[in-house]
Amino acid sequence: MTSVNELKKEEIKEIAIEKIRERLAGAPQQALFAAEMIKEAEKVYEKIVDEFKSNIIEIPRITIQQSNDIRSGFRDFDLDTNNLNYQPVSEEILIRKLREQENNVDIVIGKGRIIPDVPERIIVNELMNYPEVNYDEQSDLLFKLTGQAIGKFRSWLDADQIMNVVQYHKREIGRYIYSQLMEHFYCEVPGFEKPVVKPFTRIEEHNLSKYTKDSIHHYTDTITPTSAIPGKVFCGFRKACHNLYKFDSKTEKDFAIILENEAEVLKWMRPAQRQFHIYWRHNSKQYHPDFVVETEDTIYMVETKKEGAMEDSDVQEKTQAALQYCKYATEFTIQNGGKQWRYILIPHNAVQTNMSFDYLTRSCAQKV
């Protein structure tokens, strides 16, 4: 089935009734009453479907996860050579310096010397010691920048003097180029894989910790201090998909009051931990939205956050993952006669019990 409305189709009803027949056939003690029980099931089937529909929000089964392809590198730029003003040193100082360095292949100097590398390659070899530098992917840029550095030296040095400067100052030159490279470094957050979307799933139950009778409060009760709210269990909801809920803050409790009082809201829920499969932070963390709210034409995934945390990288990463879910859920549900999904990120200070849900959705909706 692609929609809960299909439960009312005659062929689906026949499948359900047939399963009842099979179950009764396996219980001989009920065989005498089988015909009456099947007749009663046929009579109340649509009523049961209507009751089932009134207590669920259609949530497509979608697993949102990031691809493992992390892209990083350096954007193209021209080297600022203004501060590259190195001068040659004496042959004695150069020999001493090169002998101090291990694993050097460019230490033979003087007339008739063998130089296995040109100056540009010596500097590129230095750049390859930095972890962000990938020679295979960035060689063109590396040689362009080192060529610009060598070009600056050519304005006042001859070939032997340039080699002297490069051999003696290669680490400083490499560090100079690297510092500018890092100003143009990028690391792209992995994209999300296109998921397989399946029809609606059941509403998962909350696994509330044990609570005593006196810890249950009506959702409109005032709890003081407000820091005690996370330790309470609340009841009395008319539009919620569960009978009991816990709230992590006064903001969440106040938002539930808004939802209960808003005529536009048909149903809402606090999703259980297993309800959604939305992953972020390279698939190492799972996102659990605070609320899901259904109106006449839209289903909203809602998150409330402290105002100062709205721009935090964690919040933004979770937002992108949630938006991916809403995108693919909308594509599926619209094709099957359902409602669009939208993601709402609401700052705590915007939630007041006299605030309308419509205002919050218009002012806080997020876009893909």
Query: DSSP per residue over 178-246, as a string?
Result: HHHHHHTEEEEPPPBPPPPEEEEEPPPPP-PPP--GGGEEETTS--SSGGGGGG-EEE--SSBSSS-B-
Residues 316 and 220 in one domain: yes
Residue with tokens 């590396």: 142
Sequence-separated contacts (24+) of 104-108 with Cβ below 8 Å: 106/167, 107/167
User: Could you tell me the residue range of the domain that residue 337 belongs to?
Assistant: 204-366
What type of residue is 340?
A: Q
| Partners of 72 in beta bridges | 187
Q: How many CB atoms lie within 10 A of CB 189?
A: 15
Residues 159 and 216 in one domain: no
Residues 335 and 220 in one domain: yes
Query: Distance between CA 267 and CA 172 in Å, rounded?
Result: 65
Residues 213 and 178 in one domain: no
What type of residue is 343?
A: Y
Contact 123, 149 (CB under 8 A): yes
Residues 6+ away with beta carbon under 8 Å from 191: 66, 67, 69
Domain boundary among 156, 188, 220: 188
Give the torsion sign (CA, 250, 252, 253, 259): positive
- pLDDT given for residue 113 in this prediction: 39
Q: Are strands 197-201 and 59-64 parallel, antiparallel or unpaired?
A: antiparallel
Residues 177 and 239 in one domain: no
- pLDDT given for residue 106 in this prediction: 46
Residue 66: inside a domain:
no
Residues 176 and 214 in one domain: no
Query: Distance between CA 327 and CA 318 in Å, rounded?
Result: 14
Of 350, 265, 347, 337, the closest CA to residue 299 belongs to 265
Residue 145: inside a domain:
yes
**In degrees rounded to 5, what are phi and psi of residue 341?**
-110, 140
Residues 256 and 179 in one domain: no
Peptide bond into 230 cis (omega under 30): no
303: domain CATH number is 3.40.1350
- pLDDT given for residue 107 in this prediction: 42
Residue 107: inside a domain:
yes
Query: Distance between CA 293 and CA 57 in Å, rounded?
Result: 8
What type of residue is 165?
A: V
Peptide bond into 225 cis (omega under 30): yes
Residues 274 and 219 in one domain: yes
Residue 303: inside a domain:
yes
Q: How many CB atoms lie within 10 A of CB 362?
A: 10
Residue 81: inside a domain:
yes
Residues 211 and 333 in one domain: yes
What type of residue is 345?
A: L
The number of folded domains in the chain is: 3
Contact 276, 287 (CB under 8 A): yes
Helix (H, G, I), strand (E, B) or coil at 47: helix
Residues 181 and 210 in one domain: no
Of 302, 295, 290, 309, the closest CA to residue 326 belongs to 302
Query: Distance between CA 312 and CA 308 in Å, rounded?
Result: 8
Token pair listed for 4: 């809960």
Query: Distance between CA 346 and CA 327 in Å, rounded?
Result: 19
| Partners of 185 in beta bridges | 74
Residues 357 and 257 in one domain: yes
**pLDDT values of the chain reduced to their tens digit, one per residue, 368 residues:** 677 777 777 887 788 888 877 777 766 666 667 778 788 877 888 888 778 777 889 999 999 998 776 678 999 999 999 999 999 999 889 888 888 765 544 444 443 333 447 899 999 999 999 988 999 889 999 999 999 999 999 999 999 999 999 999 999 999 999 999 999 998 776 678 889 898 887 888 888 766 666 689 999 999 999 999 999 999 999 999 999 999 999 999 999 999 999 999 999 999 998 899 999 888 889 999 999 999 999 999 999 998 888 889 899 999 999 999 999 999 999 998 899 999 999 999 999 998 899 999 988 877 75
Q: What angle do CA 293, 194, 301 make, to 5 degrees?
A: 10
